[in-house]
Structure 1
């Protein structure tokens, strides 16, 4: 046992992704801490039912924010990392075209939100009194699109220090912004915060990159290049499919949970999802900063296979340890992060944690589809497994209540993992 641990530690020292884990550790810790505090305040102020309503808006906001960014963020990171320190002119062109795409997409998304504010409020939140929230969302969504594009560019430069600084600043400012609105306006403040805090972060990003000569307003003067736009479109399709499938499937299942069981029970599931997102942030943050750009720049199959195998060697033991610890401490975590109203949530942990394990080990391979622009395969698998999640969720929800949704989540990602192994069988095993 001791020798196994020593071998893992020894291997970790030589793996670049661990270095990135270390460099992003403070950023991740701050994001987790601010996330815990934010969820705690919201849970106390609005309760499980309010959290369920907020979950519906968050999922819709995810879709609209992806549309506003054109779904090209992963493409921006890939191409900037590919040409960085190789061809400055291409970096300038790819960045300029990306910003132009985002400007158009954000304006279209904003017009839609403002024009249909009453309908959206009625259908999503079951109350037209919240219509003004969609107007505010429409007026600020452009800032979000620009912010995510700039962050993708910084990520593509592999400027980890600056990326971490921006992330920490965003987390702290976002926490203060969210808590202030929730304390002043309750559920309305939580809803406003959900659709605007990302846009406020643009101020921080612009301030921190103001002296970076690689990113400046001159990029807006770049002539629109259709060939570059077509390359982004392939990434856009993959990203937008993800944006449309995962949040929509959650919205469908949450709506059924609200109508068939109760808003409070649906809120427990939303709380479980939020907690899951927070602790998985440790891995997903470092992956988005390091893993995708790294896979994008590797052209040698042997090196690429080694990179993926090393990721599994390091992450599987760490992930297993973290998830087991989370399960053991689940009662303490619920009391710490939420409130007593959320105590029944402890029944959801087992299946959710198993699902999270298979989700991450599947994502290691799924990232390869993004990095190598396997558009058709990515789109088909995303659509199939989102549909499967809904079908499993609806069936198990009727059979076992809210626990059924976490069971569906677990089953779905187990099947997804073995599907990824099948798709990449030649790459991994030959």
Structure 2
């Protein structure tokens, strides 16, 4: 399926996701305020780390392997079976850690002793969340766009219902508990959808552990683990720095600006995951890779730039409608935040090649370096420019990241040319 067709179909899911996110943002803004929004951001980062520890980081490897062996169903099933065993083993350990350490985690991450039981809920929900993510990775690798889009739509609606209801009933505690358990509910919908496909049977998910597949998935696992741990940790440190130097509300404003970026960039990021990663797994030559990169840039970058320009001129309207007047100070972040969004997508188009071609060492190294530099830039620039410094740090970091990606991908393409010759 072409990039344009994938984008159009994926756009349906994005419309639902954006609509659900807009409603949830309004609910959260009204019921928890800027300071509560900062706490929610911390917990969402903890959830990301939990998913990485529970084996969710192997998703790109499962997608790549499934797409790469499109003509070998037996090998696909071997990949799925190995991934399921590895995921369940990791999930058991991660779940126990979150349940046992729930009080310590609440104090350290949320600075709230009364929120500790949400980590118990997270630990109990992890197996279902991890399995749902694994099924989505398999569907993506099979390029079953209709099922993939349908699963995402249902997941968005379930999240809207659960998070909205529990936030209304329980305030900040209800919101955190809902964020922990709502992704697990999506497993029922995803399972029901994939069970109807002729290429899938539940029996295909259970079997022997294949050592070559373990080795291949471990490389993707290391890349995913690095990304899933370093980025949330950087965000946690940044949020703590803003809270300690500028106040908890400032951290909430930054979290809200980040959420706006996530919402309007959904079409791009989901399309890259759905179309681009499986496509990269199929490419064998430098010429073909160069053409694919150019095609994606020609479609994606104009969309991002147009979206950023529209968002900037509508910033006051967006803040009032998505959040509330209490979030008005975040308008100071828009220019540099949106500039950073453009630079991020530009660099991600190249960074996906590291995933598609299993460039483990380069991926891990750059993730560590640029997660640390984001925090370092934030500390440095916020001292000079105040609140705007965090958004300026975001833009500066992704400018350097884009340059690094260009160098790494150019070198990889030179290697492809040499091997091909």
Cα separation, 1, equivalents of 2:306 and 2:167: 35
Residue 141 of structure 1 is matched in structure 2 by: 126
Residue 25 of structure 1 is matched in structure 2 by: 11
Show the 5 A alignment for 1:101-120. 101-120=86-105
**Residues 101 and 214 of structure 1: is their aligned pair in 2 closer, same or farther, counting only changes over 3 Å?**
farther
Residue 363 of structure 2 is matched in structure 1 by: 378
Cα separation, 2, equivalents of 1:425 and 1:131: 48
Residue 139 of structure 2 is matched in structure 1 by: 154
Residue 365 of structure 1 is matched in structure 2 by: 350
Residue 420 of structure 1 is matched in structure 2 by: 405
CA RMSD of aligned residues (A): 1.4
TM-score, structure 2 normalization: 0.96
Residue 227 of structure 2 is matched in structure 1 by: 242
Please report how far the alpha carbon of residue 130 of structure 1 lies from its aligned counterpart in structure 2 after TM superposition. Answer: 1.0
Cα separation, 1, equivalents of 2:299 and 2:125: 40
Q: Is the 8 A contact 1:69 1:146 kept in 2?
A: no
Show the 5 A alignment for 1:141-220. 141-220=126-205
Cα separation, 1, equivalents of 2:384 and 2:36: 25
Residue 82 of structure 1 is matched in structure 2 by: 68
Cα separation, 2, equivalents of 1:296 and 1:327: 36
Cα separation, 2, equivalents of 1:318 and 1:211: 35
For structure 2, the 5+ residue unaligned runs are none
Q: Does 1:351 align with 2:351?
A: no
Residue 284 of structure 2 is matched in structure 1 by: 299
Cα separation, 1, equivalents of 2:153 and 2:51: 21
Cα separation, 1, equivalents of 2:228 and 2:303: 28
Please report how far the alpha carbon of residue 282 of structure 1 lies from its aligned counterpart in structure 2 after TM superposition. Answer: 1.3
| Secondary structure, counterpart of 1:223 in structure 2 | coil
Q: Is the 8 A contact 1:253 1:390 kept in 2?
A: yes
Please report how far the alpha carbon of residue 388 of structure 1 lies from its aligned counterpart in structure 2 after TM superposition. Answer: 0.7
Residue 22 of structure 2 is matched in structure 1 by: 36
Please report how far the alpha carbon of residue 206 of structure 1 lies from its aligned counterpart in structure 2 after TM superposition. Answer: 0.9
Cα separation, 2, equivalents of 1:213 and 1:176: 31
1:268 to 243, 253, 262: 253
Residue 65 of structure 1 is matched in structure 2 by: 51
Residue 3 of structure 1 is matched in structure 2 by: none
1:309 to 294, 299, 310: 294
Q: Does 1:318 align with 2:297?
A: no
Cα separation, 1, equivalents of 2:252 and 2:116: 22
**Structure 1 residues 177-219: Cα deviation after superposition (integer angstroms, max 9, x where no partner):** 1100000000001111121111111111111112234333313
Please report how far the alpha carbon of residue 226 of structure 1 lies from its aligned counterpart in structure 2 after TM superposition. Answer: 1.6
Q: Is the 8 A contact 1:95 1:219 kept in 2?
A: yes
Cα separation, 2, equivalents of 1:199 and 1:221: 20
Please report how far the alpha carbon of residue 275 of structure 1 lies from its aligned counterpart in structure 2 after TM superposition. Answer: 0.6
Cα separation, 1, equivalents of 2:413 and 2:212: 33
Cα separation, 2, equivalents of 1:189 and 1:242: 28
Q: Is the 8 A contact 1:69 1:148 kept in 2?
A: no
Q: Is the 8 A contact 1:70 1:101 kept in 2?
A: no
Cα separation, 2, equivalents of 1:112 and 1:21: 39
Q: Is the 8 A contact 1:56 1:125 kept in 2?
A: yes
Q: Is the 8 A contact 1:75 1:232 kept in 2?
A: yes
